[in-house]
Amino acid sequence: MRRWRDRVAPEDAGLSAGGHRRAAGLRREELAVLAGISADYVTRLEQGRVSSPSAQVVEGLARALRLSGEERGHLFLLAGLSSPGPGTVPGELTPGVRRMLDRLEGTPVAVYDAMWTLLVANRAYAALMSDPSGWSGHERNGVWRTFLGPGGRVRLSARARTDLETAMVADLRTAAAAYPDDARLRSLVAELRSRSGRFAELWESGAVGRHESARKTIDHPEVGTVTLDCDILTVAGSDLRVMVYTADPGSEDAARLARL
């Protein structure tokens, strides 16, 4: 892990390379933020004081360290886990998606997997929607947050919320059919069905819908109301969802987004 951490340039991960740096690449604290775990946990992992990291932790580290497919499989092996197979939800960022994130530094971008678990978000997205680096487990899942999590910054009418809930359930059902061997997905569905009557109702009803691009209004605590186009791009072959927020050029919304 230390060797892999040393070879990732901070600027390649969207971080500042300024100041005195003892580490050749990412600091432990920076890797922790990118992987969605604590810096103390990264330290204990590198020192061999963690016996059984979860698959989610390993997947997060593989993304943050920008590992190749073979390296990712080796990391799972080192953790005593089986590398995710074809029956599980893909969580690996493609090179093209990585380059997109690197080049859209001033544009809010977040990447989700097929079950709407947040894989990575850039700094612009964190500034707009709140920083997700402290989220863990099901907190990082968009469906879980829709039905069981705290309210977000996006302003939703009653109709818009109904459409969102229906689309999220339909997406999750599609993922469950496509990836029947994914234990994380089964666990997520079981928790949602047991804890959310609304989710259970939609799941049992066979609700059909799709999470589509839309124009969204965000109530931001610092810059006020911002209305943006939210486009969702699906990456062929990997089932990743790339969510991109943009504003009309020259508009007040664009100016507020730039101030963030």
Q: What is the pTM of this model?
A: 0.76
Report the distance separating Cα 60 and Cα 218, nearest Å: 28
Residue 161: what pLDDT?
93
Residue 135: what pLDDT?
83
Quick check: 147 and 171 in contact, CB under 8 A? no
Report the distance separating Cα 32 and Cα 115, nearest Å: 23
Task: Write the CA distances from 73 to 16, 49, 195, integer angstroms.
Answer: 29, 21, 34
Residue 1: what pLDDT?
86
Residue 16: what pLDDT?
65
Q: Residue 218, SS3?
A: strand
Number of C-beta neighbours around residue 193 at 10 A: 14
Helices of type H across the chain = 2-6, 28-35, 39-46, 55-64, 69-78, 95-103, 123-129, 142-147, 158-178, 183-195, 197-205, 252-259
Residue 178: what pLDDT?
87
In this structure, the dihedral spanned by the alpha carbons of residues 10, 16, 19 and 23, taken in order and rounded to 10 degrees, is: -20
| Structural domains of the chain, ranges and CATH numbers in brackets | 2-78 (1.10.260.40), 95-259 (3.30.450.180)
Sequential pLDDT tens for the chain (260 residues) = 888 989 888 877 767 666 666 767 888 888 888 887 888 889 998 888 887 888 778 888 888 888 887 888 888 888 887 766 667 888 888 888 888 888 888 899 999 999 999 988 988 999 999 988 778 788 889 999 999 998 889 999 999 999 999 999 999 998 998 888 888 899 999 999 999 999 999 999 987 767 778 899 999 999 999 999 999 998 888 889 999 999 999 999 999 999 98
Angle at Cα 46 formed by Cα 183 and Cα 24, nearest 5°?
120
Residue 189: what pLDDT?
96
The DSSP line for 98-128 is: HHHHHH-TTS-EEEE-TT-BEEEE-HHHHHH
Structure tokens of 11?
A: 């600027």
